Amino acid sequence: MKRIIILFLAVATTLLAYSQTSLEDGDRCFDSGDYTCAETKYNEAFKLATGRDRQIAEIKLTRTKWCADHISLANQAFTNKDYKTAKENYQSILESNPKDTYAKSQLEKCTNLLKPPIITLSVSKVNLSFPSAGSNERLTITTNASSYSVNLLPSWCSVFTYPEYFIITCKANYLSTSRTGYFTVVAGDKTVRINVSQLGVTKKSTLSLTKERLSFASSGGKSEAITVNSNASTYSISLVPSWCSVKTYKSYFIVSCNANNNTKSRSDWFEVTAGDNKLKVFINQSGKENGAPVNGKCFNCPNAKYTWGITAGYVKKSFDGTEGIQLGLRVEPLFKYGFGLNTGLNLEGYATDMLSVYRFEKSFVQYAANVPIHLEYRMNFSKWFNVFIYGGAGVNLVTNSLFNVLSIPTTLDYGCGLRINHIQFNIGQSLYLGNLKNIKGFRIDRGHYQELILSFSWMF
């Protein structure tokens, strides 16, 4: 009997020690979050323990099964991207087992995934301008929000929205004044303001004059006042004849004319401009009964205002078979009674075959510089048209293509031409009188003609 009791106590002690070890192992598994291991250990301890230890093992086994069930539910919800449910289950597990590092990390992931994203929003244009007739604009939306809205739209605009863009349409503005407004584009917590402006209707400008035809006596007579009627803010006057003058005021202008010293009447016009309207005012002035000077004015005074210009021409020498081109500067100061000077500086190049020069096959064989000193007489029919004749001397510098010799021949020049506004045409001839410096290689005998000079000038 004594032996049986000793054997029973030995077995009981062994079982008790083993159950204590299983509980400790279960606690370590539970703390690490290995609920399968913890459940196995707690089951072993429950089977072997008695009394109070058995109750402790049962409690721990129940808590382990609860955590295992909730970790399974949490993982399934996380896989299904139901982060809210997963978060709730991970949180519950940590309330029961604060040492579960896996549940902690999963809880942090769920928290981050449940945070609302930082909304971005941009619109392709933030300033819109529409014509008075109305129009539409397409604006592109760039945002990571699931949707957007257009708010505070002006009453004279409408909108059609699409997933990635919207179209703003503005009605016609029939008022003379422009109008402005704005609207907003909202996505999440982001707002972009779009400014809108629209032009008003531009009134068509009007223009009328109290007189459009004026007549003056040959002496000039009295000045004429003309009232300007226009809805434009300002007006301007241009192309006034040289024998007239105009003084402008806010709503009218005064025209006066110089005395006409010619026996013939003269007529011309000038232009009045307001907004996009233009009107011509025609002027007629009678001539004197004789051509005598009046009030110190002269007969055939120059009307042309352009006294200098650039010229280009063709020249040909009859005595040596060369021809060439001429480029230069023309200066023509004009005096009373139609007289004036014709001078300037011309640069010339001569060749025996100009066609080869044009083709860049040959070069010039001679170069020259010409300074004309001519007396000129013009018939000034108007400031736009006159004809003239001229004559006088010319000084020339002539060299060869190597620029190693120089001749200075003088010429007697004469010719004629005509002027149409800025454009002037000249035709003339030159008679070589001889060299101021006789150099061998330039045979220019007295009496030789430069057969032809044709030139075109643009006068300023």
Q: Which of 373, 352, 371 is nearest to 361 (CA)?
A: 352
Answer yes or no: is pLDDT of 303 > 90: no
Q: Are residues 108 and 125 in the same domain?
A: no
Chain segment 14-55, per-residue pLDDT in tens = 444 445 677 888 888 988 888 889 888 888 888 877 778 888
**Residue 116: pLDDT band with limits 50, 70, 90:** confident
Q: What is the pLDDT of residue 9?
A: 45
**Residue 337: pLDDT band with limits 50, 70, 90:** confident
Question: Are the C-beta atoms of residues 281 and 255 closer than 8 Å to each other?
Answer: yes
Q: What is the pLDDT of residue 18?
A: 46
d(CA 291, CA 261): 6
Question: Are the C-beta atoms of residues 323 and 354 closer than 8 Å to each other?
Answer: yes
Question: Are the C-beta atoms of residues 90 and 82 closer than 8 Å to each other?
Answer: no
User: What would the mean pLDDT of 435-452 be, rounded to a whole number?
Assistant: 59
Summary mean pLDDT of the chain: 86
User: What would the mean pLDDT of 60-75 be, rounded to a whole number?
Assistant: 90
Q: Are residues 316 and 375 in the same domain?
A: yes
Q: Give the range of the structural domain holding residue 223, as residue numbers without chain letter.
A: 207-285
The reply to whether 302 falls in a domain is no
Of the candidate ranges 264-268, 357-361, 388-392, the one whose mean pLDDT is the lowest: 357-361
**At which of 56, 88, 114 does a domain end?**
114
Q: Are residues 62 and 107 in the same domain?
A: yes
Q: Are residues 54 and 93 in the same domain?
A: yes
d(CA 12, CA 110): 49
The amino acid at residue 393 is A
CATH assignment at residue 383: 2.40.160.20
Q: What is the pLDDT of residue 305?
A: 65
Coil/strand/helix, residue 316: strand
Q: Which of 456, 448, 427 is nearest to 317 (CA)?
A: 448
Q: Are residues 434 and 315 in the same domain?
A: yes
Q: What is the pLDDT of residue 44?
A: 85
Q: What is the pLDDT of residue 96?
A: 86
d(CA 409, CA 116): 98
The reply to whether 438 falls in a domain is yes
Chain segment 180-195, per-residue pLDDT in tens = 999 999 998 999 999 9
Find the radius of gyration of the CA atoms of the chain.
54
Q: What is the pLDDT of residue 214?
A: 93
DSSP characters over 409-445: EEEEEEEEEEEETTEEEEEEEEEEEEESS--TT----
**At which of 89, 114, 139 does a domain end?**
114
- Report how far apart, in Å, the C-alpha atoms of 110 and of each of 84, 85, 145, 280, 399 are: 7, 9, 20, 85, 98
**Residue 304: pLDDT band with limits 50, 70, 90:** low
Q: Are residues 125 and 99 in the same domain?
A: no
The reply to whether 11 falls in a domain is yes
- Report how far apart, in Å, the C-alpha atoms of 117 and of each of 83, 109, 140, 419 are: 15, 14, 22, 81
Angle between helices 101-114 and 83-96 (to 10 degrees): 150
User: What would the mean pLDDT of 50-73 be, rounded to a whole number?
Assistant: 87
For 284, the enclosing helix (H) or strand (E) is strand 277-285
Q: Are residues 36 and 102 in the same domain?
A: yes
> In 125-224, which ranges are continuous DSSP H helix?
none
The amino acid at residue 155 is S
**At which of 67, 93, 114 does a domain end?**
114
Highest averaged pLDDT of the listed ranges 248-257, 293-302, 401-410: 248-257
The more confident residue out of 338 and 270 is: 270
The more confident residue out of 143 and 304 is: 143
Highest averaged pLDDT of the listed ranges 239-253, 287-301, 397-411: 239-253
Which tokens belong to 238?
């241009």
> In angstroms, how far is CA 313 from the centroid of its own chain?
41
Length of the chain: 460
Angle between helices 2-32 and 35-48 (to 10 degrees): 160
Coil/strand/helix, residue 126: coil
Which residues are paired to 179 by β-bridges? 198
Total domains in the chain come to: 4
The reply to whether 168 falls in a domain is yes
Chain segment 214-235, per-residue pLDDT in tens = 999 888 878 999 999 998 889 9
The reply to whether 295 falls in a domain is no
Q: What is the pLDDT of residue 2?
A: 54
User: What would the mean pLDDT of 336-363 be, rounded to a whole number?
Assistant: 84
Q: What is the pLDDT of residue 298?
A: 61
Q: Are residues 315 and 432 in the same domain?
A: yes
> In angstroms, how far is CA 307 from the centroid of its own chain?
39
User: What would the mean pLDDT of 99-115 be, rounded to a whole number?
Assistant: 90
- Tokens 């709730």 sit on residue: 88
Q: Are residues 346 and 433 in the same domain?
A: yes
Answer yes or no: is pLDDT of 399 > 60: yes
Residues in CB range of 303: below 8 A, 6 or more apart: 242, 243, 380, 382, 383, 386
Coil/strand/helix, residue 44: helix
Q: Which of 390, 436, 417, 435 is nearest to 313 (CA)?
A: 417
Coil/strand/helix, residue 114: helix
**Residue 307: pLDDT band with limits 50, 70, 90:** confident
The more confident residue out of 188 and 8 is: 188
The reply to whether 258 falls in a domain is yes
Q: Are residues 248 and 312 in the same domain?
A: no
Q: Are residues 237 and 194 in the same domain?
A: no
Q: Are residues 313 and 365 in the same domain?
A: yes
Chain segment 119-154, per-residue pLDDT in tens = 999 999 999 999 999 999 999 999 999 899 999 999
CATH assignment at residue 233: 2.60.40.10
Q: HSE (CB half, 13 Å, CA atoms) of 402?
A: 3
In terms of Cβ atoms closer than 10 Å to its own Cβ (0-12, 13-18, 19+), residue 403 is exposed
User: What would the mean pLDDT of 357-371 be, rounded to a whole number?
Assistant: 83
The reply to whether 424 falls in a domain is yes
DSSP characters over 164-225: SEEEEEE----SSS-EEEEEEEEETTEEEEEEEEEPPPPPPP-EEES-SEEEE-TT--S-EE
Torsion 382-384-385-391 (CA) sign: positive
d(CA 158, CA 166): 10
